Amino acid sequence: MIPDINRIKRPELNNKIMSASQAALLIRDGMVVASSGFTRSGDSKEVLPALAERGETEQYQITLITGASLGHSTDGALAASGALAMRLPFQSDPVMRKIINDGGLMYIDQNLSETAEHIRNGFLPPIDVAIIEAALVEDDGSIIPTTSVGNSAIFVAQAQQVIIEINEIIPTSIRGIHDIFLPEDATGRAIVPVTEPWQKIGQDSIPCDPAKIAAIVFTNRKDTPAEIATSNPAAQAIARHLLTFFEREIQAGRLTRSLRPIQAGIGKIADAVLNRLADGDFEHLTMYSEVLQDSAFNLLDAGKLDFASASSLTVSEACYQRIFEDLENYRHKILLRPQDITNAAEVIQRLGVIAINTALECDLYGNVNSSHIQGSHIVNGIGGSADFAQNSYLSIFVTESIAKQGSISRIVPMVTHVDHSEHDVDIIVTEQGLADLRGLAPRQKAVAIINHCVHPEYRETLSDYFIRACRRGGQTPHLLEEAFQWYLNLAENGSMKAEVEERM
Amino acid sequence: MIPDINRIKRPELNNKIMSASQAALLIRDGMVVASSGFTRSGDSKEVLPALAERGETEQYQITLITGASLGHSTDGALAASGALAMRLPFQSDPVMRKIINDGGLMYIDQNLSETAEHIRNGFLPPIDVAIIEAALVEDDGSIIPTTSVGNSAIFVAQAQQVIIEINEIIPTSIRGIHDIFLPEDATGRAIVPVTEPWQKIGQDSIPCDPAKIAAIVFTNRKDTPAEIATSNPAAQAIARHLLTFFEREIQAGRLTRSLRPIQAGIGKIADAVLNRLADGDFEHLTMYSEVLQDSAFNLLDAGKLDFASASSLTVSEACYQRIFEDLENYRHKILLRPQDITNAAEVIQRLGVIAINTALECDLYGNVNSSHIQGSHIVNGIGGSADFAQNSYLSIFVTESIAKQGSISRIVPMVTHVDHSEHDVDIIVTEQGLADLRGLAPRQKAVAIINHCVHPEYRETLSDYFIRACRRGGQTPHLLEEAFQWYLNLAENGSMKAEVEERM
């Protein structure tokens, strides 16, 4: 391809244009590499894949830090090539996941708000090379990002060298939808002055010392499209329960028809909830979220959503097309910001965000596991769920009550891994119903969860566990010798249901 | 006693003066009562005890909300009298604890920053009566608190009726050491503009509509004195490890000799750490904490500490004396604020607080239990530990490696209750050593904790568990069938150490 040098507004940088494989040679064994990319958007599509290729034949290992997950199976290819010694703060690649669980790659699963702070504080090794996808490079060397911001601003600020990947698919008119705000270093860190979701507090581009720009690579590959979340009756039922709850809160005067700024995690349930808001009697909704999926654009198009703030656009191919064809319409309705701003405790608290996240499973007392299977094996990671759960006005977790035709209950006596303690969980919703845990003590929470959330096939066993545990006493009654029995049943017999009584 | 009516600057309120038992009659069955009091300071010393007495002969039940724990065994007396249906957000009374664990009293153990927000949001039932200890009542009806602020400001704002307990022991010259800031309601909640520990952002007194003042009671009882924390060699060793760590951080350029604002939990280890700072080569220290203990005043007197912000003074009798005898000296060096300000996520993050809290136990991967024994029975509660652990610059947990002559290890394979997940724990210190968990993946954290923190008597068994778990795989390897075996050993044989191999 012939590079569109109009996208480099500082002509002296033209001599930095090179191929991806040339640029990849800047990365050497033992280096710390930081790359743009958040939930598979705005990621490196040339240099990291070239690096993975190099890993096939060459012996070297790097630490890779990103915003969140990469697209295009890049994480899988890098992990499989053996090029990675350490990976943070998030991933969602099946190949990489297996290597992590096998102990072949050290994975630091971080709260997504924290990576930038840990870098600023010097808690992580210094960044050698940053690779940043860009729509264009300004005349001062600053970088206009593409479909995500993630940690790119802090990466550029801290890296010794910067490799820019200019993506020609992205219209240069994207300039203006980013809001780049860099808080000071942790000593006397600045107030993050967002008081409304639509408030822009920073600048359009990521500041970059031109002398640090070591390579510019061109690409015309799109982001990996998000899978279209296929809704199911359970997701619809969960959405219905949640909307009934919102209606009740409006009746009680605690919410208005504009609700509060919404954060929604990725997946079919959150998607079903947002899509359902389009049909309901709501108005002037806003989002203060990590990721915008198709449903956000459906809500914008339906005139229900006034504004959406996030760190990335993770949408289907059709929605991607729609956004860039009608960018003039959307550009005043969305903002993409650094993930330490979208996920900032102070902003989430100040705006009073309603956080809707998916639980892998939750227990009798409202503790939530978002990340681990059988207490040991990680799926993706905690992501931003704790940033929002800990600081939101309402922390809502959604999950189907059962999985694998009922051989797994998503409501268990005790979760084997706690990502969110009962203190950070207000509402649990399954297709069975909604448990409102606000203002309840643990034993009362258990009754609400048993009555409203657990699947009927597991209700009696769970209730029996609870009653026997209460007899033994405690603020949060448990029977430690059988708290994990359902998991042991599952491992041995393929179902949590295996005859518990006989085995005791 | 003859009440000192000079402490009531609004003469029309003089006719509200009554005895504690009269005032207690304002409280009726089913009411929600909110009372001042935080870590046994500035609590109700007349009306709540009178209420407990009434509970002995009369059948009624109330919900009691406070700042944190009450002194004078008031919590125990109230619980024993059967007067309480519900208690939040914290307690530390042995009688009450037993009744809670027996299921006789619903206890909502809350993050101490959250109670005010839950009240403002209408997540808790409305407050009927607030009981507030005061040094004096101003001419506009506003209240000058005493040795704690806690949740008193929100209680007064929201209560239907207010009972004031004027404490004549407290010099009226205490006026000025409080900083009362009330954030807006959660919609468009205000920025909390503290950018330095010493910055006063509010007013001296708690605003109160005089029409709400239903009773004024006088008292001359002191706060329950804090027990003098008797240090031991283990606490000294922990303090030493932590100071060595601070020295290393200073060498690395991450900290200066002023460190960062310090938060220290209650107890002998935190006390030992602070006292040791007085001997070290530190200067211009500051505190942004929940509670100030004797050690804070020792540091002030030693000229090492420039300023201390907290929500209460919880000091020994001698220190109490010293503070009030020399109030002119201390008044410019301390501020007492509402607990949703001392524990505000945004301020803790902005100041970059170093948080030092005591763990009840922690596990191989750095998950911390602060509240429950054997997964079921609560000791006190989570308190403010999560507010600080989640938002601090450095989240440090301290614990002795063993308890009860070694029959209990404080480092276990898997904690049975998670108050702080590995994501919110940076440093674990026992008398054995210090594990710096920053920038480590879970398997690396386990190695650090085994090498530095666990007691030699348990090291081999824990190491063996870890190695066998790793063989089975996972990001956070566990053997679910034996993860709680140490607890079962303890319950059966009085020691975690019982022959594990034989029992498998």
- Measured between CB atoms, which of B118, B346, B440 is closest to A345? B346
Distance (Å, whole) CA B210 – CA B9: 11
DSSP assignment of B289-317: -SEE-HHHHHHHHTT-EEEEEESEE---H
Task: Give the count of beta carbons closer than 10 Å to the beta carbon of residue B92.
Answer: 18
Which residues on adjacent β-strands are paired with residue A65? A34, A88
Tell me what pLDDT residue B240 has.
95
Give tens-digit pLDDT for A211-222.
Answer: 999 999 999 999
B143-144 and A106-107: which strand pairing?
unpaired
Tell me what pLDDT residue A187 has.
53
Helix, strand, coil percentages for chain B (3-state, nearest 5): 35, 20, 45
Q: Which residues contact B392 (CB under 8 A, 6 or more apart)?
A: B263, B348, B349, B352, B353, B354, B355
Task: Give the count of beta carbons closer than 10 Å to the beta carbon of residue A270.
Answer: 27
Identify the burial level of A448 via C-beta atoms within 10 angstroms of its C-beta, where 0-12 means exposed, 13-18 middle and 19 or more buried: middle
Angle formed at CA A263 by CA A258 and CA A267, multiple of 5 degrees:
120
A162, amino acid identity: V
Hey, is the C-beta of A470 within 8 angstroms of any chain B C-beta? yes
What average pLDDT does the structure give for chain A?
Answer: 95
Task: Give residue A264's region: left, alpha or beta (phi > 0; psi -120 to 50).
Answer: beta
- Of B112, B387, B265, give the one whose Cα is nearest residue A391: B387
Average pLDDT, stretch B161-188? 88
In this structure, chain B runs to a length of: 504
Identify the burial level of A389 via C-beta atoms within 10 angstroms of its C-beta, where 0-12 means exposed, 13-18 middle and 19 or more buried: buried
Hey, is the C-beta of A125 within 8 angstroms of any chain B C-beta? yes
Cβ pairs A/B, distance under 8 A: 216
Contact A3, A20 (CB under 8 A): no
Q: How is residue A493 written in tokens?
A: 């017999």
Q: Which residues contact B405 (CB under 8 A, 6 or more apart)?
A: none
Q: How is residue B85 written in tokens?
A: 């249906």
Of residues A188 and A360, the one with the higher pLDDT is A360
With 80 as the cut, is the pLDDT of residue A475 above it? yes
Cα four-point dihedral sign B440, B442, B446, B447: negative
Give the position of tokens 């700072």: B277
Q: How confident is the model at residue B499 (pLDDT cuts 50, 70, 90)?
A: low
Average pLDDT, stretch B17-26? 97
Distance (Å, whole) CA A229 – CA A321: 18
Hey, is the C-beta of A111 within 8 angstroms of any chain B C-beta? yes
Of residues A182 and B140, the one with the higher pLDDT is B140
Identify the burial level of A12 via C-beta atoms within 10 angstroms of its C-beta, where 0-12 means exposed, 13-18 middle and 19 or more buried: exposed
Tell me what pLDDT residue A444 has.
98
Q: How confident is the model at residue B230 (pLDDT cuts 50, 70, 90)?
A: confident
Helix, strand, coil percentages for chain A (3-state, nearest 5): 35, 20, 45
**Chain B environment of A441 (Cβ under 8 Å):** 86, 106-108
Question: Nearest chain A Cα to B385, which residue?
Answer: A423
What average pLDDT does the structure give for chain B?
Answer: 95
Tell me what pLDDT residue B228 has.
74
- CA of B334, closest CA in chain A: separation in Å? 20
**Chain A environment of B378 (Cβ under 8 Å):** 474-476
Rg, chain B, Cα only: 23
- CA of A358, closest CA in chain B: separation in Å? 18
Distance of CA A443 to the CA centre of its chain: 32
Tell me what pLDDT residue A185 has.
55
Contact B377 A106 (CB under 8 A): no
Contact B186 A393 (CB under 8 A): yes
Contact B480 A469 (CB under 8 A): no
Interface predicted TM-score of the whole assembly (ipTM), two decimals: 0.96
Contact A478 B444 (CB under 8 A): no
Task: Give the count of beta carbons closer than 10 Å to the beta carbon of residue B54.
Answer: 16
Reported as type and span, the H/E element at residue A107 is strand A106-107
Which whole-number Å values give the CA distances from B344 to A400, B37, B193, B262, B391, in the listed order? 34, 19, 11, 14, 9
Contact A254 B469 (CB under 8 A): no
Tell me what pLDDT residue A57 has.
86
Identify the burial level of A243 via C-beta atoms within 10 angstroms of its C-beta, where 0-12 means exposed, 13-18 middle and 19 or more buried: middle
Tell me what pLDDT residue B375 has.
96
Distance (Å, whole) CA B44 – CA B134: 10
DSSP A286: E
Distance of CA A402 to the CA centre of its chain: 23
Q: How is residue B195 written in tokens?
A: 């950018």
Average pLDDT, stretch B297-326? 95
Backbone angles phi, psi at A130, to 5 degrees: -110, 140
Tell me what pLDDT residue B174 has.
97
Distance (Å, whole) CA A474 – CA B491: 15
Tell me what pLDDT residue A2 has.
85
Question: Nearest chain B Cα to A367, which residue?
Answer: B418
Q: Is A227 helix (H, G, I), strand (E, B) or coil?
A: coil
With 60 as the cut, is the pLDDT of residue A186 above it? no
Contact A189 B349 (CB under 8 A): yes
Mutation site for B-interface testing, chosen from A480, A487, A492 by largest number of B Cβ within 10 Å: A480
Supply the pTM of this predicted model: 0.97
Tell which A residues from 411 to 430 touch B, by Cβ distance under 8 Å.
414, 416-419, 421, 423, 426
Average pLDDT, stretch A264-275? 88
Tell me what pLDDT residue A191 has.
93
- Measured between CB atoms, which of A114, A440, A488 is closest to B481? A488
Identify the burial level of B225 via C-beta atoms within 10 angstroms of its C-beta, where 0-12 means exposed, 13-18 middle and 19 or more buried: middle
Q: Is B34 helix (H, G, I), strand (E, B) or coil?
A: strand
Cα four-point dihedral sign A490, A495, A497, A502: negative
- CA of A125, closest CA in chain B: separation in Å? 8
Q: How confident is the model at residue A227 (pLDDT cuts 50, 70, 90)?
A: confident
Q: How confident is the model at residue A190 (pLDDT cuts 50, 70, 90)?
A: confident
- Of B163, B132, B172, give the one whose Cα is nearest residue B38: B132
Q: Which of A46, A290, A361, A431 is catalytic?
A: A290
Distance (Å, whole) CA B459 – CA B452: 10
Contact B177, B331 (CB under 8 A): yes
Distance (Å, whole) CA A444 – CA B108: 10
With 60 as the cut, is the pLDDT of residue B186 above it? no
Tell me what pLDDT residue B503 has.
43
Distance (Å, whole) CA B216 – CA A271: 55
B499 is catalytic: no
Reported as type and span, the H/E element at residue B214 is strand B213-219
Task: Give the count of beta carbons closer than 10 Å to the beta carbon of residue B272.
Answer: 23
**Chain B environment of A469 (Cβ under 8 Å):** 376
Hey, is the C-beta of A318 within 8 angstroms of any chain B C-beta? no
Give tens-digit pLDDT for A118-139.
Answer: 999 999 999 999 999 999 999 9
With 50 as the cut, is the pLDDT of residue A111 above it? yes
Distance (Å, whole) CA A266 – CA A380: 12
Mutation site for B-interface testing, chosen from A111, A115, A346 by largest number of B Cβ within 10 Å: A346
% of chain A surpassing 70 pLDDT:
98
% of chain A surpassing 90 pLDDT:
90
Give the position of tokens 């239907």: B160
Distance (Å, whole) CA B293 – CA B339: 16
Q: How confident is the model at residue A30 (pLDDT cuts 50, 70, 90)?
A: very high
Tell me what pLDDT residue B187 has.
53
Tell me what pLDDT residue B80 has.
95
Hey, is the C-beta of B372 within 8 angstroms of any chain A C-beta? yes
Which residues on adjacent β-strands are paired with residue B335? B309
Q: How is residue B335 written in tokens?
A: 């501020």
Distance (Å, whole) CA A376 – CA B377: 26
Reported as type and span, the H/E element at residue B470 is helix B456-472
Which residues on adjacent β-strands are paired with residue A107? A87
With 50 as the cut, is the pLDDT of residue B437 above it? yes
Q: How is residue B370 written in tokens?
A: 């602060």
Distance (Å, whole) CA A475 – CA B79: 15
Q: How is residue B104 written in tokens?
A: 């006789």
Among the ranges given (A183-197, B156-170, B351-365, B397-411), the one the predictor scored with the smallest mean pLDDT: A183-197
Give tens-digit pLDDT for A285-314.
Answer: 999 999 999 999 999 999 999 999 999 999
Distance (Å, whole) CA A471 – CA A478: 10
- Of A348, A356, A393, give the one whose Cα is nearest residue A263: A356
B424, amino acid identity: D
With 60 as the cut, is the pLDDT of residue A188 above it? no
Tell me what pLDDT residue A377 has.
98
Give tens-digit pLDDT for A326-364.
Answer: 999 999 999 999 999 999 999 999 999 999 999 999 999
Q: How is residue B106 written in tokens?
A: 């619903």
% of chain B surpassing 70 pLDDT:
97
Identify the burial level of A488 via C-beta atoms within 10 angstroms of its C-beta, where 0-12 means exposed, 13-18 middle and 19 or more buried: middle
% of chain B surpassing 90 pLDDT:
90
Task: Give residue B404's region: left, alpha or beta (phi > 0; psi -120 to 50).
Answer: left
With 60 as the cut, is the pLDDT of residue A502 above it? no
Hey, is the C-beta of B254 within 8 angstroms of any chain A C-beta? yes
Cα four-point dihedral sign B139, B141, B142, B148: positive
Backbone angles phi, psi at A337, to 5 degrees: -130, 165
Distance (Å, whole) CA A73 – CA A93: 7
Residue ranges of alpha helices (H) inside A262-397 are: 268-279, 294-301, 317-325, 327-330, 339-342, 345-351, 385-391
Q: How is residue A257 written in tokens?
A: 């028809």
